[in-house]
Amino acid sequence: MSRFHIFKRFFRNFVKFAQEDAVTEKSTYQLFMVRFWHEENDQKMIWRCRVKDVRTGQEIGFTSPDDLWAFLQKQMPVDSSSSHPERNN
């Protein structure tokens, strides 16, 4: 069996587990798969991005990494009572 097929089987099982976890209990984490690629637009190479919520299967496309980052930041609720200054470097 090739490495690709092993990875594909592993990822399929991982996604199934993550989806079951989303249904059975409220989770304190987010799980996304992110893809980046280049496209040529008017002789200029630009980044495109796509994010998939592994637990729900929802996919969203973005026209720039900045838009993707803004989306991901909105997915992380801020709790001022549990700030970690050492992580903000």
Q: Is the pLDDT of residue 61 over 90?
A: yes
Residue 60 neighbours by CB under 8 Å, 6+ apart: 50, 51, 71
Q: Where are the domains of the chain?
A: 3-76
Q: How many Å apart are CA 61 and CA 74, to the nearest integer? A: 15
Q: Is the pTM of this model over 0.85?
A: no
pLDDT digits (tens, 9 = 90+) for 67-80: 988 998 888 776 65
pLDDT of 64 reads 86
In DSSP notation, 46-87 reads: EEEEEEEETTT--EEEESSHHHHHHHHHHTS---GGG--GGG
pLDDT of 15 reads 65
Say how many CA atoms lie within 13 Å of 48 toward its Cβ. 10
Q: Is the pLDDT of residue 60 over 90?
A: yes
Q: Tokens 């990494």 label which residue?
A: 65
pLDDT digits (tens, 9 = 90+) for 12-55: 766 666 666 555 555 567 788 999 888 888 888 888 999 998 88
